[in-house]
Chain A
């Protein structure tokens, strides 16, 4: 009896090939999936049934396209089940419905078969169910939508299913022994039963004995060598270590490989994941906790739910628990390194410091173990917090690059050790220190505070520099800059310009305002008006500096003013601070003024002219 599909079969095939399948090669995956499901179903009835999948390439005598015979010794289908899967296909005309159908055996069987039409025009399925006595049924389907179901004239000796595909001429590339073998290995490499390939009269086993992490090894080092070799085979990368992964939630097992390079921050690690030993995705992302971006994994999960696109796992509580458990496995590895092999930990930190820092932030015990090994940049070079605290009771840090640059110029000479915590996580890690070690003292430091650590002048010295202070205060008033005189090292530095982070941003806004038209200029004014209570920047003259001392003694007030302005601009430039238009004008006028003063041999008429 011939039947016709109630739906447009071409439509469903198009839908499948455009939305569900990335390449026609997935027909091998679908057939393997069907065979696996059938074998598993039979194992439920006969627990000792091992199961075998056979793939045979039958070349045509006339050189035409070959036939592929794909057979399993699984549970087989009854006539009623054949009709059921056909009906299921009929209902599967929507993408969402298709995805849903794949979750049950019969639905998946039908949809899996349809994928074969991406590479052939006609399919023959011969099947004998364990439930159906010794009746063998056959289903012949064509891509135009016609099919027939009838008892087979060539009954099968044992229960199971055979699928015959005659290659379509334009899809012959998917029917070579090499390609079939490669595809079967790719999708079913972890399957625990043999997949046998017969071609050109020879039969060989395609897959080895299941997942490499499930095999027995002579020793731990054999195991490590074998797993690293497997990692190289899968990801073409020479990993530096491998870590076993296991989670009872989701029934997940596998191995994580430690990357041999520092990963790009925004490059999420793509993991290879198998669902019930069949490849699900090579680019799953949501498997590990956020911080664990130093590894790439291969895992098999038996009880996680795939997303509709089957590219990763559906985000639910089971996945959350599995992720937590896998994170714990990685954490255990790091904890053991810290205890047993600090050198290896240090090497790992040099590559994957960010991962280690991220975990330390989330996890107090890990923090306690690892903080002593993490390097920080300070004004006195790279050191760990242990080294730091040996020499200084309070850990001082700046959170801004701008701050650190300002501080670094004098801090070392002043004997001040300040941590540059402008790197990712560093500020948070430092602030966590007293929470984990109650005796630790940690203080944020601002470049604006730096002058407070400088020595004060004596009373006499104060008197000497007072005229300079007065002139400087007046001269720098238009620039919203305060003035002080202190003693600090190195003495070659005549002045130090210090401002807090807001101060630097304020200068950015002012420069943008200078450039902008009325509309955006007025907005810059609004931003300035609302800037958080920014303290005025401070120009500190260094009393140890000979030029500053000399300047303090100058009687010519004009020359003194001009010199102060020049020192101010120089301090900005030395601090790599961009000049505003007004400051640029100061520089131009000042230079000319100083030259003029020099040429005149006096200070008369200085400060005139200038270029803009």
Chain B
């Protein structure tokens, strides 16, 4: 293959990737392009391609690939700061560091070290602390350090904005989580208003927000709004595996409102993502919601259920009939095993508590039929 050939091929792959929506095929095209650039020792091109790969992997549901591509770029930028412009990389470092705790095999120490590292990196370019406080708040929250989380929440919310802080929409969306943690559902929904009304948006906002507000709206008895959020939000996320956890939120909502058949349709469609997703955090959220959904099915006396589930599922039945109890057991075990891995890594009981929350969701059930559109 001549030099021209492979460059043309990289160009074609980049062109193809730029026309694709976020997802596996896009990530694959960029990985292929980065390997070609590597194989021919073109460092600049390899950097450029990986720079895009970080975005595609981050927003296409492959946080492990984003981490690896970022590590490579960061190393090049460190060795050769003049050659590899690193401003964009600073921004992407937030995405990568923010997802580290999604991997139970990344240790607590590695997470904290990476936070120190990004703090120093940001300090060197004279950025304010707001972005770092937010990262530390979110890490502490996910690691189950409640006191630390509260401390960094206060620091984050009060810190001034600067060029490396997240946009208003993303900040708002993340603030909502905090209010939900504290059961401040009114506040959560109030904060979500500019997003839900379309005045504030970003790459993944309102997609994420529609999922986050489902439970608060249900708790506030605002079911029609919740239903509209489900109907509006789900189509936005149904084709991108980066939203696996949000799919979980929709499944939980459908189970809570007794729309079990709709819930099963989502479960059937997205279980495949959960089986090999790089984010164990997102797998957990999905399995936990699915376990609640299937527990409702069992409780309502359906001994078996017909589903088209992926072949990769250990319980896979070619004819598609599954004993509800067994399926529920399998999904619940997944959630428990992941929870145990996270709690062990974190040295806290956050995930155990999340499981307990799900087990007590029965008392929030409020049947509210959502009519399907006519065929």
Partner-B contacts on A (CB < 8 A): 249, 264-266, 290, 307-309, 315-317, 320-321, 323-325, 400-402, 405, 422-424, 435, 504-505, 508-509, 511-513, 515-517, 519-524, 526-527, 529-530, 532, 573, 576-579
* B103 located at the interface, meaning its Cβ lies under 8 Å from any Cβ of chain A in the complex: yes
CB-based contact B114/A523 at 8 Å: yes
CB-based contact B231/A316 at 8 Å: yes
By a CB distance below 8 angstroms, the chain A residues around B64 are 527
Query: How many B residues touch A, CB cutoff 8 Å?
Result: 51
CB-based contact B198/A315 at 8 Å: no
Within 8 A of A (CB), among B197-224: 197-198
CB-based contact A520/B71 at 8 Å: yes
CB-based contact B110/A519 at 8 Å: yes
Q: Which of B20, B21, B75, B276 contacts A512 (CB 8 A)?
A: B75
* B38 located at the interface, meaning its Cβ lies under 8 Å from any Cβ of chain A in the complex: yes
By a CB distance below 8 angstroms, the chain B residues around A527 are 64, 67-68, 103, 105
CB-based contact B65/A505 at 8 Å: yes
Of B25-33, B296-304, B325-333, the stretch lying at the interface with chain A is B25-33
Q: Which of A265, A316, A522, A524 contacts B21 (CB 8 A)?
A: A265
* B235 located at the interface, meaning its Cβ lies under 8 Å from any Cβ of chain A in the complex: yes
By a CB distance below 8 angstroms, the chain A residues around B308 are 435
* B124 located at the interface, meaning its Cβ lies under 8 Å from any Cβ of chain A in the complex: no
Partner-A contacts on B (CB < 8 A): 1, 6, 19-21, 23, 25, 28-29, 31-32, 34-36, 38-39, 64-65, 67-69, 71-72, 74-76, 78-79, 100, 103, 105-107, 110, 113-114, 117, 197-198, 228, 231-232, 235, 238-239, 276, 308, 371, 373-375
A424 to B27, CA, bound (A): 11
CB-based contact A324/B39 at 8 Å: no
Q: Can you report 22 A-B residue pairs in the complex whose CB atoms are below 8 A from each other?
A: A264-B19, A266-B19, A290-B235, A290-B238, A307-B198, A308-B197, A315-B231, A316-B231, A317-B373, A401-B31, A422-B25, A508-B65, A508-B68, A513-B71, A515-B72, A516-B71, A517-B78, A523-B71, A523-B114, A527-B67, A578-B38, A578-B39
Q: Check A315/B232 contact, CB under 8 A, given A526-B103, A526-B110.
A: yes
By a CB distance below 8 angstroms, the chain A residues around B20 are 265, 424
Q: Check A576/B105 contact, CB under 8 A, given A324-B374, A424-B25, A519-B117.
A: no
Q: Check A526/B75 contact, CB under 8 A, given A402-B35, A576-B6, A576-B39.
A: no
Smallest CB separation, B64 vs chain A (Å): 6
By a CB distance below 8 angstroms, the chain A residues around B76 are 515
A508 to B71, CA, bound (A): 11
Q: Which of B74, B103, B373 contacts A516 (CB 8 A)?
A: B74
CB-based contact B35/A578 at 8 Å: yes
By a CB distance below 8 angstroms, the chain B residues around A249 are 374
Shortest Cβ-Cβ A-B pairs, 4 listed: A578-B38, A515-B75, A315-B232, A324-B373
A516 to B78, CA, bound (A): 9
CB-based contact A511/B72 at 8 Å: yes
By a CB distance below 8 angstroms, the chain A residues around B235 are 290
By a CB distance below 8 angstroms, the chain A residues around B31 are 401-402, 504-505, 508
CB-based contact B105/A504 at 8 Å: no
Smallest CB separation, B181 vs chain A (Å): 28
Given contacts A512-B71, A524-B71, 9 further A-B contacts (CB under 8 A): A265-B20, A324-B374, A424-B20, A424-B25, A508-B69, A519-B117, A527-B105, A530-B103, A579-B39
Smallest CB separation, B226 vs chain A (Å): 13
A526 to B102, CA, bound (A): 13
In the complex, the chain B residue whose C-beta lies closest to that of A309 is B198
In the complex, the chain A residue whose C-beta lies closest to that of B229 is A315
Q: Check A504/B35 contact, CB under 8 A, given A422-B28, A530-B105.
A: yes
CB-based contact B32/A401 at 8 Å: yes
In the complex, the chain A residue whose C-beta lies closest to that of B238 is A290
By a CB distance below 8 angstroms, the chain B residues around A532 are 276
Smallest CB separation, A251 vs chain B (Å): 15
Q: Which of B25, B232, B373 contacts A321 (CB 8 A)?
A: B373
In the complex, the chain B residue whose C-beta lies closest to that of A529 is B105
By a CB distance below 8 angstroms, the chain A residues around B110 are 519, 522-523, 526
By a CB distance below 8 angstroms, the chain A residues around B1 are 576
